[in-house]
Amino acid sequence: MRGQVWRRGALAVLGGALLYLGHPPADLAWTGVLALVPLLLLARDLADGRRPARRGAGWGLLAGVAFFGPLLSWILRFGVVPFALLTLLQAAAVAAFVAFLSRWGGRPGRPAVAVVAWVALEAVRGSWPLGGFPWGGLGYTQHDGGLLLPAARSVGVLGVSAACAAIAVCVEEGGWRVWRSWPAFRAAGPRGDVRADVLFGALRTPLLSGLGILVLSVLLAGEPPAPTGRTLDIAAVQGTNIRSTSAAGVMRVSTDRIIRVAEQMVLATRPLAADPPELTIWPENSLDADVTDERNATVRALVSEALDLLGGAPLLANGALAGPRPATFLNAMLQVAPDGTVVDAYVKRRPVPFAEYIPGRRWLDWFPPLDQIPSDALPGAEPGVFSVAGTRVGTVICFENIFPELVHSQVREGAQLLVVSTNNTSFGRSAMSSQHLAFSQVRAVETGRWVLHAGISGISGIVDPEGRVTQRTALFEEAIVRADLPLVEGRTLATRLGGAIGWAAVALFALALAWLVVDRRRGRTPPRPGLR
């Protein structure tokens, strides 16, 4: 019994560790392809015992915590309680995966069901609750040139997750078949031809399936849409000495901070005065005052000074607009005229719960820590594409780039290049900024667009349609990222499919659950696929 507990604990922790190592800061793409192998073995082992689903949920939760605990450790800056709650909520998806597969046991179709279950649970985690939080998706382990990344151009990040899961299933299935055929292999003695037949017989199906997945991934990669031949000279300004520019909380209403940050952005923009670009970006929280309000004349004057430095070329700056109700605001990318008039605006569609707004505030006002968030960001309703310098520029704000559909909708609105405007200063020098950049890399591949990832204090960089990052800046250092970015108008298959792969996986998973329930009520005992 003790050996069984140690074996299962080791498989759970190893699975969680491999999942974690596939993401920044370790960034070992190959671990993302193999990460599910220990969890598949764990489910196979649990299927042999009593109450497999219940035990699977427990061991799967351990694996999930071993994964999301270190991955999301940057949230500890906001306290142990939010970190623990978010970690457990995300780990529940891994627990559900192991529990379901343990209960499935040796029923037919286990390999396909495993892939469907993982992708479906990623899709659910990315959309629920409170809009979802897809951080740590398996497909993102391939963001930095992983073998399967180009397939995102056709099937999106969930398709890449499916490919990673499918290869892991082939590896685990092949290993188990070799283990099961080991007695026959040994019985063959020195006869090499017999041994080869036994080994090939065990590996044939998973090996050919794995090779087929790799070939299909290459075929799905295709080519990104061809550039139009036109470019846009665009620059993102990363401020110097910018700290405490929190996107939420009481710091947002600090007048001294708002003015200081805007002043720092003007100083960091000065090097562009000698040769202004066609478009300049000031990232998230560059302006946290409503520039249309005459009481914020100082901030409006700083914007006018920046526009003078840029010779009148357009500036897109992230700031706050007053909401339609008291204690509300709009987090928006703004094109501001020298007199403070807002020429055009994109309002963030996915404010972050418990950071930019409090869900159910009327019932939670008694909780003292929530006093740190005195106002609520209201969501925008439409994708916003700016028409500037003869170019259609799609922008998303901060964590919006972790939601594929939001970025894809900008492309469908005609965006020829993409800008991710973000502020990650609250997370210090943690791995969060690198993890956030990884999402922009995958979005660039999915959409076939160049992406300017602009952080007010870093990391900033240019991402090409292959997911490669250039001009990557350091954290908390003044910098300017500038390039002539090619413009693209064509559409990828991924932007046309939208969320179809996720919805299909969820539907198939629901059918598998229903079959499992029906099969159990009929009293059927599935074949045991265990390790023993």
Q: Is 364:373 a contact under the CB 8 Å cutoff?
A: no
Query: Prior bond to 129 cis, omega within 30?
Result: yes
Distance CA 185, CA 193 (A): 11
* pLDDT tens for each residue of 127-177: 999 999 999 999 999 999 999 999 999 999 999 999 999 999 999 999 888
Distance CA 471, CA 468 (A): 10
Distance CA 350, CA 478 (A): 28
Longest dimension (CA), the chain: 90
What pairs with residue 279 in β-bridges?
Answer: 234
The dihedral built from the CA positions of residue 346, 349, 352 and 356, taken in this order, carries a sign that is positive
The pLDDT of residue 495: 97
Distance CA 440, CA 143 (A): 9
Q: Name which of 288, 289, 270, 290 is nearest 280 in CA terms.
A: 270
CA atoms within 13 A on the CB side of 42: 33
Distance CA 155, CA 162 (A): 9
Least confident range of 150-164, 198-212, 509-523:
198-212
Distance CA 166, CA 236 (A): 39
Output the six-digit token pair for 493.
């298959």
- Residue-range domain boundaries for the chain: 2-224+497-521, 227-358+374-491
The pLDDT of residue 247: 45
The pLDDT of residue 368: 75
The pLDDT of residue 251: 46
Residue 331's φ and ψ, nearest 5 degrees, are -85, 115
Q: Return the C-alpha torsion angle 259, 264, 269, 273, nearest 10.
A: 80
Distance CA 311, CA 326 (A): 37
Burial class (CB in 10 A: 0-12, 13-18, 19+), 401: buried
Distance CA 290, CA 323 (A): 10
- Confidence class for position 49, pLDDT limits 50, 70, 90: confident
pLDDT(194) > 90: no
What's the mean pLDDT in 310-335? 95
The dihedral built from the CA positions of residue 190, 192, 197 and 203, taken in this order, carries a sign that is positive
Query: Residue 116: CB partners within 8 Å, gap ≥ 6?
Result: 505, 508, 509, 512
Q: Name which of 35, 46, 29 is nearest 13 in CA terms.
A: 35
pLDDT(98) > 80: yes
What pairs with residue 452 in β-bridges?
Answer: 419, 462
> In whole numbers, what is the pLDDT of the chain averaged over residues?
92
Least confident range of 163-177, 247-261, 355-369:
247-261
What pairs with residue 387 in β-bridges?
Answer: 392
CATH code assigned to 227-358+374-491:
3.60.110.10
Q: Is 279:234 a contact under the CB 8 Å cutoff?
A: yes
CA atoms within 13 A on the CB side of 71: 29
- Confidence class for position 524, pLDDT limits 50, 70, 90: low
DSSP notation for 396-413: EEGGGGG-HHHHHHHHHT
Distance CA 206, CA 276 (A): 57
Q: Is 99:49 a contact under the CB 8 Å cutoff?
A: no
* pLDDT tens for each residue of 275-289: 999 999 999 999 988
Output the six-digit token pair for 387.
């028409």
- Confidence class for position 528, pLDDT limits 50, 70, 90: low
pLDDT(260) > 60: yes
Does residue 279 sit in helix, strand or coil? Answer: strand
Residue 28: enclosing H or E segment and its boundaries?
A: none
Q: What is the pTM of this model?
A: 0.94
pLDDT(39) > 70: yes
